[in-house]
Structure 1
Amino acid sequence: MLIGEHAYAMLLVEPFFKTFPKKEICDTATYVEGAFGFSCESRAELDAMVAKALAGGGKEAEPPQDHGFMYSRSFEDLDGHHWEVVWMDPKAAQ
């Protein structure tokens, strides 16, 4: 899955994924297996990315957080993994 110009995520079906870790895979309906985050260039890009995730069957995990200089949203993908998407004003980052 292409996330950005130089960022990709590999999505695996569960039987194949189980061949990688030595630990058991948890039930993401009950446990958080991992949290993944990335940033966007603008608030509009962030909202568009989350809208695509929700349109594809994802669920909003938390309400949007707007701190003025920083804006974030989160969603769970179809497997229950938690994704955080953040935008920060470049002027505030300096």
Structure 2
Amino acid sequence: MKNQIILNLPVKDLDKSKAFFSSLGFTFSDRFSGENAAFMNIAGDTIQAMLTAEPFFQSLINKPVVQAKDANEVVICLSCESREEVDSLIAKAVAAGGRTPHPPEDHGFMYDQGFEDIDGHLWNLVWMAPEA
């Protein structure tokens, strides 16, 4: 059974992307990072992302790199422990240069809001009531 998710995301400027995600509270592992990539911890040992400088990312694939500000292939959805955590992370993302593509959605049992990071990747943060 698989017990880890590692997302590989191309980024324009590795240092700026690290600063953006650091401001949201994510940490990086120096052990798996270098001049072309940074290994970001999202949820302990189970969910990570490899932020990869776009030229290096391109060398790993045999088709064009999608420009996430122009088109998206995926929306990364992360669960949060509360509505307040959703709102807090959104505020941090916006303060760090991200943007919100839509207003928060409150369905009573579920609350969510998304942000676009500085490279255009879409992230959705969701809280679900335990009884839902």
What range is the shorter-chain TM-score in? 0.7 to 0.9
Partner of 2:44: 5
**49-58 vs 81-90, greater mean Cα deviation:** 49-58
Partner of 1:51: 91
Q: Normalising by structure 2, what TM-score?
A: 0.64
CA RMSD in angstroms, aligned pairs only = 1.4
1:10 maps to amino acid:
M
Task: Say whether 1:81 aligns with 2:127.
Answer: no
Q: Distance in 2 between matches of 1:3 and 1:52?
A: 15
Q: Normalising by structure 1, what TM-score?
A: 0.86
1:67 to 102, 107, 114: 107
2:78 to 38, 57, 71: 38
Query: With CA pairs under 8 Å and 6+ residues apart, which has the higher RCO, 1 or 2?
Result: 1
Count of aligned residue pairs for this structure pair: 92
1:3 maps to amino acid:
I
C-alpha displacement at 1:86, in angstroms? 0.5
Partner of 1:20: 60
C-alpha displacement at 1:52, in angstroms? 1.5
Unaligned runs of 5+ in 2: 1-39
C-alpha displacement at 1:40, in angstroms? 0.5
1:33 and 1:81 in contact (8 A); partners too = no
Unaligned runs of 5+ in 1: none
Q: Distance in 1 between matches of 2:43 and 2:88?
A: 13
**24-33 vs 81-90, greater mean Cα deviation:** 24-33
Deviation readout 1:6-62 (Å, 9 max, x if unpaired): 332221111111122222112223211421111001111111111111111111011
2:69 and 2:121 in contact (8 A); partners too = no
